[in-house]
Structure 1
Amino acid sequence: MSTLIMQSDSASSAEAVLATPLVRRRADALAIDLAAIPGSGVAGRVTLRDLLRAAGQTDEAATVDAGEPGTSTDGASAEVSSAPPAYVTPVVRRLAVSHGVDLAQVVGTGVGGRIRKQDVLAAAAASHQTTTSNGGKPSPAGQDARRGTVEPLTSSRADLESRASESLQGSAWRTAVVEVDLAAVTRLATEWALDAPQTGPLAVVPYIVRAVAQSLQANAVLNATVHAERGAIEFHAREDLAVELEGSAGVVVVEIPDASSTSVQAIARLMASADEDDREVSSETATFILTCGSGNDVLFDTPLLPIGRTGALNVGAVVKRPVVMSDPEMGLGDTIAVRSLVLLALTYDHRLVRSTDAARFLARVRQQVESGDFS
């Protein structure tokens, strides 16, 4: 009996450690307890190099540090026929696909010959300056290079589609949307002079993240996981958030553990430290997901619910619009003012979350953001 208890305690402590699914799988294969490894990543996350060094595989860890060929952070097997000769992150691969760039023809300028985002963009720009076989005429501007082509379905895309379909089939999705005035947090972003502030539309996101985390404390039904195979619902004791920042190079996931106890300044620093070239894309360990379009013109989007999760929030585009304002204290009646507004779209599992739960959660988020009370 005592042996079983010790194994259970070890498993639970390992699960509490911040680490990507790739690192966890590697640790299981090496029979190493992640809880015993000091993490060097953001917020103490255990990275692949930390695990390899703890396992005594210093040569392989040095290869990870240098970014040499043969090490892939996405865990996928190298394809002999089509894989480029240098180390390429999943984000760079997606960028190459979107621009129609053959990575095998790109010379990497990074450490150890690594192909970086800038290398792909430079190759894409050079291809637009070359002529095509269509009578030697340049390709028409604004046309996607993938027109008329066939490409294989990558494992990451196939996995995403499979998970989304499984989540849709196993839960009842609904979406609720509220409009939020950003005047107060826009002013705070300037007055507080954050150590590592975001710029543009993303400047307000750390405040929204903090408000979401605190609202989840009062609405645990949206910070839960449905374990269908066990017939149980787990209400999480912490608000471990993941913020998905979507840009031209793909999705970068910023992990914010115990977000309700994390300051706005710390959240801003975590977001500013996200590296589009190196960061592994994974939000599987988060209890709640926020998605952001990085300032695109889409008013809002419906975020995908990860399997088993009960809620996810999309932060839409920040827009300026005239709004009717009422100020009874000043006795001015209704006035019209130009305000910065954003739409927050909450996707939730209606099997567990009622529409009144969703409305109460969004109302609390809006109240805190519009009041600017983050003391």
Structure 2
Amino acid sequence: MPDLGEGLTEAELVSWEVAEGDTVVLNQVIAEVETAKAAVQLPSPYAGVVARLLVEPGTTVPVGSPILAVDTAPAGGGAPVSARAEASPVAVSAAPASPPAAATATAERSPASAHAASSSASAGAPSPVAARTSVLVGYGPAVGTTDRPRRRPRPSRPGPSGPPTGRGPADPPPTAPSPTDHARPSGQAAPPAGGTVTERPRTHPPVRKLAHELGVDLTSVAGTGPDGVITRDDVLARAHRDPGAVSTGSPTDGRRPPDAPVGSPREDRTPVTGVRRRTAAAMVASAFTAPQATVFLTVDVTPTLELLDDLRRDRALAGRRLTLLTVVAKAVTIAVARTPEVNARWDEAAGEIVQPHYVNLGIAAATPRGLLVPNVKDADRLHLGALADALTDLTEHARAGTTPPGALVGGTITITNVGVFGIDAGTPILNPGESAILAVGAVRRRPWEHRDAIALRSVVTLAVTFDHRVVDGEQAARFVSDVGAVLANPGSALAMV
């Protein structure tokens, strides 16, 4: 797993784009991973044949751990591959398949001496592959060894088989190593006593997971895929053809509750990883660290909506997505200039309040992977059209999962638009490291006082949550009032700049 930058120490493998036996070319996408901040596609730093997939989807992998083995000189001929990564930890099978006898004997003594022997053996022979420029941040020297324990063959036991329980045959109990075990090659297990040896059902990790969820015994499924590989359709067909092979009840009794649909679990469990885990930790730290308070203001935004209608007809702004959020963002940068305390942060370690002279405006975005808060750098220096472009680009990347890590750090104040979900108001939690967040509610048509009469107007509720260590109530009230004044009378912005 390469270093994806921004101090991230791990990433979750979401899916493989290749399978064992596939031929890959340099820079071909091999997998999609998800960090605590964004989804990233990993390119292959080697060209060759995929020898092994070392990690199953859904696994969180530390940076530097091997995830894939690529045979850069596959059997069957062909010139050596001429391009590879600088000993990247992603692809880790560039060494010959059969190590020298001396290296094998050394490996049996200790992993450290094996690594040293392997390095010295390769130092004396010219490498058939040439170095190339790294293609992803963090590629560097290979970390650790590429070997992992091989799967232990499973014995087929004689006798009648009981009803399937959703689990494969049990592994033989561990036994003490015999003196002859040290003479076997590394990773090779001794044949089990009694019974013949059968291979593990051939399938892919997502299909194996589906079989586990449905309680289907893969040893009883005939594969229809290439070379007898068990496919998803094979598992589903088995589940529907023989309901007795499906267990949705207790894994120990093989029964399912009455009236439960065949193959449907009674509950789902989702591991807390990636963006969701990072968001949860950040919200807990924010809620129980900073004393937070919220003030509300309901504003008549009819003049702003009328202004937006006029601007959309302006040829100079054609093609730009001008929305109420765009004007709110501009209003925030104007209000910050009058009340800079809402743009400051509390530095607990230094015992200081840090006051930036710029506005990195965060926008809370709901994505399929969870809540992200990317920010527009130096938003206070952008005019309305440029700010609209920046917000459009930011939200599109967030929803596509392609937000660069740099856009997710360094925010100074945040806007969350709960109005898009039909919510009138709320009390948002501060984004960690910031002292204010503005929630914008839904626009509602309501009877409202206008020019000494009651009229039907478009109104919206603003809510500002602030860190009471940095911002006083008076400052928070002035800030939200200034934002409301811009929305109620956009022309007033000229007097506030």
- Per the TM superposition, whether the score is higher than 0.5 is yes
Partner of 2:7, secondary structure, is helix
Alignment match of 1:171 (pick from 290, 300, 305): 290
Partner of 1:337, secondary structure, is strand
Cα separation, partners in 2 of 1:298 and 1:24, compared to 1, 3 Å: same
Mapped contact 2:419–2:443 kept (Cα < 8 A): no
Which residue of 1 is the match for residue 375 of structure 2?
255
Alignment match of 2:268 (pick from 149, 157, 161): 149
Superposed CA deviations along residues 272-305 of structure 1, whole A, max 9, x for unmatched, are 2223113338643111111113611211222221
Shift of 1:80: 2.6
Question: Hey, what's the Cα distance between the residues in 1 that align with 2:460 and 2:475?
Answer: 21
Matches for 1:211-230 after TM superposition, within 5 Å: 211-230=331-350
Which residue of 1 is the match for residue 31 of structure 2?
69
2:274 maps to 1:299: no
Partner of 1:307, secondary structure, is coil
Letter in 2 for 1:351: R
Mapped contact 2:426–2:463 kept (Cα < 8 A): yes
Shift of 1:348: 0.4
Letter in 2 for 1:353: V
Letter in 1 for 2:466: Y
Q: Which range moves more in the overlay, 70-79 or 230-239? A: 70-79
Superposed CA deviations along residues 146-174 of structure 1, whole A, max 9, x for unmatched, are 97222222243232222222222221100
Cα separation, partners in 2 of 1:341 and 1:68, compared to 1, 3 Å: farther
2:466 maps to 1:348: yes
Question: Hey, what's the Cα distance between the residues in 2 that align with 1:271 and 1:79?
Answer: 40
Which residue of 2 is the match for residue 160 of structure 1?
279
Shift of 1:205: 0.5
Mapped contact 2:286–2:432 kept (Cα < 8 A): yes
Rg larger in structure: 2
Which residue of 1 is the match for residue 447 of structure 2?
322
Identity of aligned residues (%): 22
Shift of 1:177: 0.9
Which residue of 2 is the match for residue 33 of structure 1?
none
Which residue of 2 is the match for residue 369 of structure 1?
487
Which residue of 2 is the match for residue 15 of structure 1?
none
Shift of 1:344: 1.1
Q: Which range moves more in the overlay, 346-355 or 279-288? A: 279-288
Alignment match of 2:56 (pick from 81, 92, 95): 81
Superposed CA deviations along residues 303-349 of structure 1, whole A, max 9, x for unmatched, are 22133321111111222111122x2xxxxxx3221111111111101
Which residue of 1 is the match for residue 175 of structure 2?
none
Question: Hey, what's the Cα distance between the residues in 2 that align with 1:172 and 1:322?
Answer: 36
Q: Which range moves more in the overlay, 247-256 or 186-195? A: 247-256
Shift of 1:231: 0.5
Shift of 1:135: 6.4
Mapped contact 2:358–2:378 kept (Cα < 8 A): yes
Mapped contact 2:275–2:371 kept (Cα < 8 A): no
Question: Hey, what's the Cα distance between the residues in 2 that align with 1:319 and 1:79?
Answer: 54
Partner of 1:309, secondary structure, is coil
Normalising by structure 1, we get a TM-score of 0.60
Alignment match of 1:308 (pick from 419, 429, 433): 433
Matches for 1:40-79 after TM superposition, within 5 Å: 63=27, 68-69=30-31, 72=34, 74=36
Mapped contact 1:217–1:239 kept (Cα < 8 A): no
Letter in 2 for 1:341: V
Superposed CA deviations along residues 203-255 of structure 1, whole A, max 9, x for unmatched, are 20010000001111111111011111111111111011111233677545452
Which residue of 2 is the match for residue 277 of structure 1?
400
Shift of 1:197: 4.2
Partner of 1:178, secondary structure, is strand
Question: Hey, what's the Cα distance between the residues in 2 that align with 1:207 and 1:360?
Answer: 18
Partner of 1:25, secondary structure, is coil
2:365 maps to 1:245: yes
Cα separation, partners in 2 of 1:25 and 1:162, compared to 1, 3 Å: closer
Q: Which range moves more in the overlay, 190-199 or 350-359? A: 190-199
Question: Hey, what's the Cα distance between the residues in 1 that align with 2:319 and 2:441?
Answer: 22
Letter in 2 for 1:69: A
Which residue of 2 is the match for residue 267 of structure 1?
387
Matches for 1:67-146 after TM superposition, within 5 Å: 68-69=30-31, 72=34, 74=36, 80-83=55-58, 104=206
Question: What 5-or-longer segments of structure 1 have no aligned partner?
Answer: 1-20, 29-61, 86-102, 106-130, 140-144, 328-333
Mapped contact 2:353–2:470 kept (Cα < 8 A): no
Which residue of 2 is the match for residue 31 of structure 1?
none
Which residue of 1 is the match for residue 12 of structure 2?
none
Question: Hey, what's the Cα distance between the residues in 2 that align with 1:350 and 1:311?
Answer: 10
* Higher RCO (CA 8 Å, separation ≥ 6 residues): 1
Which residue of 2 is the match for residue 92 of structure 1?
none
Superposed CA deviations along residues 102-146 of structure 1, whole A, max 9, x for unmatched, are x947xxxxxxxxxxxxxxxxxxxxxxxxx999869799xxxxx99
How many pairs were matched up? Answer: 265
Question: What 5-or-longer segments of structure 2 have no aligned partner?
Answer: 10-25, 41-52, 60-66, 68-204, 208-239, 249-257
Which residue of 2 is the match for residue 18 of structure 1?
none
Superposed CA deviations along residues 71-117 of structure 1, whole A, max 9, x for unmatched, are 556579999333499xxxxxxxxxxxxxxxxx947xxxxxxxxxxxx
Mapped contact 1:253–1:279 kept (Cα < 8 A): no
Question: Hey, what's the Cα distance between the residues in 2 that align with 1:298 and 1:218?
Answer: 29
Cα separation, partners in 2 of 1:244 and 1:279, compared to 1, 3 Å: farther
Name the structure where helix makes up a greater proportion of residues: 1
Mapped contact 2:423–2:442 kept (Cα < 8 A): yes
